[in-house]
């Protein structure tokens, strides 16, 4: 196992730049997730690490070795594809031993390793089955098995749980995490599902438009988003934004919006621009009878342990996470107010979050 480092990595397809000048360090034995919407360049980045795409410029280090221009077969990494890409003309055992055959292991060594991996993944009872007869979950396990028999330097996974149904995905998520803890392999995992990312990752890199916006631990990404995009993409539902037509100064402790005072944390950074916005997570908003932003109920989602109430206000739709006992009706007039000062101000020009006391709580 070894660490992975990418330096100034860039990839263009004709006029389109899929990955822009990216830098990342993935530590040894880390479970690292590349997260972003489709088309953000996360899969391209992964494929460049794998050697399935060659970078337009930049370097990729696997351990100490620069591998940017090496063929995939020369890199000693394993890749789990979204559609598994198990060889349909071979049975499970042959699929697992396929990567070992190339490396010139003896027959008995191959047998032991295949059996070891099969036992670890609990697929030892289906070793002689055909791929086409397997369920989605078993295929997933075989794909993982094929990756780990070789004991590669790193595991790369491209949305491996994307095709499984929701219930099974949760189970596989747990298994993956446990497997990672058991074998301690450096893993780079690509997904567009932020819940999956949050539950699996040691660290997450959020990408959009070919750029890495932020790379940090899940709790830091959630509480201290570097940009407005990260704040809206992470969390379910994402952060609420209210645009404010005023600058932000150091001394300011409240923001007055339509007569409602919002306490804001002590700001360390200021923005002189007039087009800023502030963000607040749905769990930090609450419904009130007076002294809040006026709006009407637009939708109520019942989630079992809580409700998400969508309120239409003059500042757009706000989502509020409320107690299950809250009862509101569609079109009912309500008011919304923040329940604490966990508020992040975003610079209107750069979309970056401004440093504040609240943000610094999450500094490592």
Partner 1 sequence: MDTSRSYLEPSSFSKKLAATIIIVYTVITLIPISWMVMTSFKNVNSAISYPPEVLFEPSLEGYVNLFTNRSRQSQEYLDSLPAPETWYEELVRSREMVITGPSKFLGRYSNSMIIGFGSTFASVFLGALAAYAFSRFRVPLKDDLLFFILSTRMFPPIAVAVPIFIMYRKLGLGDTHLGMIILYTVVNLSLAVWLLKGFMDEIPKEYEEAAMIDGYSRLQAFFKVVLPQAMTGIAATAIFCMIFSWNEYAFAVLLTQFNAQTAPPFIPTIIGEGGLDWPAIGAGTTLFLLPVMIFTIILRKHLLRGITFGAVRK
Which residues sit at the interface with partner 1, rule CB under 8 A?
50-52, 71-73, 75, 77-79, 81, 83, 85, 87-89, 98-99, 102-103, 146, 150
The alpha carbon torsion through 243, 244, 248, 253 (nearest 10 deg) reads: -100
Question: Smallest distance, Å, CB 46 to partner 1?
Answer: 12
**Residue 80 or 231: which CB sits closer to partner 1?**
80
Question: Smallest distance, Å, CB 180 to partner 1?
Answer: 19
Question: Smallest distance, Å, CB 26 to partner 1?
Answer: 18
**Would you tell me how many other CB atoms lie within 10 Å of the CB of residue 54?**
12
Question: Smallest distance, Å, CB 128 to partner 1?
Answer: 18
Residue 181 CA to residue 197 CA, distance in Å, equals 16
Residue 144 host element (H or E): helix 136-148
**Residue 40 or 149: which CB sits closer to partner 1?**
149
Q: At what angle do helices 166-183 and 136-148 cross, to 10 degrees?
A: 20
Q: For residue 20, give the nearest of 28, 12, 29 by alpha carbon.
A: 12
**Residue 40 or 77: which CB sits closer to partner 1?**
77
Look at the block and give the residue holding tokens 């032991």.
Answer: 112
Question: Smallest distance, Å, CB 134 to partner 1?
Answer: 14
Cα 311 to the center of its chain, rounded Å: 28
**Residue 91 or 288: which CB sits closer to partner 1?**
91
Going by C-beta distance under 8 Å and a sequence separation of 6 or more, which residues neighbour residue 343?
255, 262, 263, 264, 265, 278, 279, 280, 284, 358
**Residue 117 or 309: which CB sits closer to partner 1?**
117
**Residue 77 or 123: which CB sits closer to partner 1?**
77
Look at the block and give the residue holding tokens 């020369």.
Answer: 74
């Amino acid at each position: 196992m070894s660490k992975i480092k990418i330096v100034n990595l860039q990839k263009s397809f004709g006029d389109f730049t899929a990955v822009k000048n990216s830098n990342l360090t993935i530590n040894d034995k880390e479970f690292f997730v590349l997260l972003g919407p489709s088309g953000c360049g996360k899969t391209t980045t992964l494929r460049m690490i794998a050697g399935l795409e060659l970078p337009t410029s930049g370097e990729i280090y696997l351990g100490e070795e620069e591998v940017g221009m090496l063929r995939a077969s020369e890199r000693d990494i394993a890749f789990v594809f979204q559609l598994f890409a198990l060889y349909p003309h071979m049975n499970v055992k042959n699929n697992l031993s396929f990567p070992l055959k190339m490396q010139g292991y003896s027959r008995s060594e191959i047998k032991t390793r295949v059996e070891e991996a099969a036992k670890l993944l609990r697929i030892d009872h289906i070793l002689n089955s055909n791929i086409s007869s397997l369920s989605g979950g078993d295929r997933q396990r075989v794909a993982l098995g094929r990756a780990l028999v070789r004991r590669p330097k790193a595991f790369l996974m491209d949305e491996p749980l994307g095709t499984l149904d929701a219930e099974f995905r949760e189970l596989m998520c747990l298994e993956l995490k446990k497997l990672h803890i058991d074998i301690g392999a450096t893993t780079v995992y690509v997904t567009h599902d932020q819940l999956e990312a949050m539950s699996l990752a040691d660290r997450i890199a959020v990408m959009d438009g070919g750029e890495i916006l932020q790379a940090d631990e899940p709790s830091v990404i959630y509480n201290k988003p570097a940009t407005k995009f990260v704040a809206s993409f992470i969390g379910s539902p994402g952060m609420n934004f209210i645009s404010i037509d005023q600058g932000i100064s150091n001394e300011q402790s409240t923001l007055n919006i339509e007569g409602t005072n919002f306490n804001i944390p002590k700001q360390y950074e200021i923005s002189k621009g007039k087009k800023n916005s502030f963000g607040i997570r749905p769990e930090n908003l609450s419904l009130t009878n007076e002294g809040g932003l006026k709006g009407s109920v637009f939708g109520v989602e019942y989630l079992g342990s809580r409700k998400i109430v969508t309120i239409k206000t003059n500042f757009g739709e706000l989502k509020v996470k409320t107690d299950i006992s809250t009862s509101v009706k569609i079109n009912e007039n309500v008011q919304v107010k923040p329940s604490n000062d966990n508020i992040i101000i975003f610079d209107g020009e750069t979309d970056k979050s401004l440093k504040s006391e609240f943000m610094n709580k999450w500094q490592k």
